[in-house]
Amino acid sequence: MFNKDTYISRRERLHAMMPEKGLILIPGNMEAEYNYPHNTYHFRQDSTFVYLFGLDLPNMFGVIDLDEGKDYIFGNDVDIEDIIWMGPQIPLKEKALEFGVNHTAPIKDLYSMIKEAVQKDRQIHILPTYRGRTEIMLGELLEVHPQKLTPFISTSLRDCMIKLREKKDALEIEEIERACAIGYEMHTTAMQLAQPGVSEQYIAGVIEGIALSKGKGISFATILSQHGETLHNHDHSGILTTGKLMLVDAGAEANSYYASDNTRTIPVGGKFTSKQKDIYNIVLAANEKANSMFAPGITNLDCHLAAAKVIAEGLKSVGIMKGNIDDAVANGAHAMFFPHGLGHMMGLDVHDMEGYGQVYVGYDDKIRPVDQFGTENLRLGKKLEEGFVITNEPGVYFIPALIEKWKKEGINHDFINFDILEKEYLDFGGIRLEDDLLITKTGADILGERIPITVEEVEAEVAKGA
């Protein structure tokens, strides 16, 4: 488990890397209001705050003074009245010491510290924000409108945080493995429940309950649908029907907030049709192809394109695509079926550090984002390095609106057989298969026990629940 040296070392490394002076402000999260001020969602600490300062409590605020080399946590202790309602409380001073922070003070002192820093024209570093309440508070602190925080967003802080967080150490991998173990139980449970007549809402609720019973809960809103072809699909109103495919994209957060993120696609009732099996095995082959390539030094863009090629070849073999496959992939024809990226970084955020700006996390000076439908959605293109944790999630989808659009607009007609698509695949749905991997010295390891993935393994798991 992490201890105070973990956090001291993270802050020291950040301090050493920062090319600029001034104050770094890291607001912890406040409670997120649900339907009125005192009824809140489950508390979620800010990832940057928890990475640097550890403390998993609302209304905390971290400051790193780059000039004086001091780290602060600001927060209010509870008074005697609160103790009656909240039970005995450890003072902030003592809690902060557990994370190696020696300087603590009440929130009002934060206001005077920032006021003074602004008056002295010291540089202030913040990261991009994502919650309204935090923006309102930062606006107050910095005496600007909450929608005028951009000048304080620090590219150097952002770049240093990415460098720090993108490589996971052994303790972090342990935490991700914990999340993966919860994810394993979620996915095998979903398989066992994939029986005709069961509702999507029921299965989604049960597996989210597993995430809550073993960790912080889900790492992102569960996708669980017989309409796997709808990529942004959080609707769970369907009832399972034999012959349909149920796509489940779900993950957990360990109690430390480290995430898992897996996708499996399950035949309702337990038997793939032969057509489903064909497409399924194309996706699996693409997943395995990328698996075999991941290693330090290779770009994730290359892995993405290699998986795309496996998909295009497979689709040609079943008559859906045609022509020269290298040309097809160069022209992005595969993207009608695989319109998203191969994967993304994973860590304290399921799309790790996405809040800092995806392009800064996934790309660099050498590998730039590709401006082509499909590949433009690849979140991670740059060279892989030892210690990266990434997802591998190819998919094949039959999206009626997209098929219609490309057909009408004459896009990639040389590579796609629209006739067979319209005759046989409009109600197919979609398949995605996603594992989480650690880039090692020489290759990559799947994190956690691998969730059943072959046709035989998945069918056997569904059979357990029949």
Helical (H) or strand (E) element with 105? strand 103-105
Judged by beta carbon, residue 21 or residue 234, the one nearer its own copies is 234
Is 210 one of the binding residues for its own copies (CB under 8 A)? yes
User: Residue 220, interface with its own copies (CB under 8 A)?
Assistant: yes
Q: Cβ of residue 391: shortest distance to its own copies, in angstroms?
A: 14
- 135, 159, 185, 422: which one contacts its own copies (CB under 8 A)? 135
| Token output for 323 | 């022509």
Binding status of residue 91 toward its own copies by CB under 8 A? no
Q: Which of 13, 70, 163, 405 binds its own copies (CB under 8 A)?
A: 405
Interface segment toward its own copies; rule CB under 8 A; list 41-49, 168-176, 311-319, 458-466: 41-49
The answer to whether 143 and 118 have CB atoms below 8 angstroms apart is: yes
Residue 389 Cβ vs its own copies, minimum distance, rounded to whole Å: 16
Site for its own copies contains 148 (CB under 8 A): no
Shortest distance, CB of residue 442 to its own copies, whole angstroms? 32
What's the closest the beta carbon of residue 138 comes to its own copies, in angstroms? Answer: 11
Reduce the DSSP state of residue 445 to 3 states and report it: strand
Q: For residue 444, give the DSSP letter.
A: E
* Interface with its own copies, residue 205, by CB under 8 A: yes
Of 416-435, which residues contact its own copies (CB under 8 A)? none
Min. distance of Cβ 46 from its own copies in angstroms?
7
Q: In the stretch 338-357, what mask flags binding to its own copies with x, by CB under 8 A?
A: -x--------xxxx--xx--
Q: What is the DSSP string of 231-297?
A: SS------B--TT-EEEEEE-EE-TT--B--EEEEEETTS---HHHHHHHHHHHHHHHHHHHH--TT
Shortest Cβ 443–its own copies spacing (Å): 29
245-250 β-sheet, strand order: 223-225, 245-250, 262-267
Three-state secondary structure call for residue 79: coil
8-state DSSP, 75: -
For 361-398, give one letter per residue: b (16+ CB within 10 A) or e: bbbeeebebbeebbbebbbbbbebeebbbbbbbbbbbb
Residues of this chain that interact with its own copies (CB under 8 A) are 32-42, 44, 46-47, 80, 83-88, 130-136, 140, 145-147, 201-214, 217, 220-221, 227, 229-233, 257, 339, 348-351, 354-355, 399-402, 405
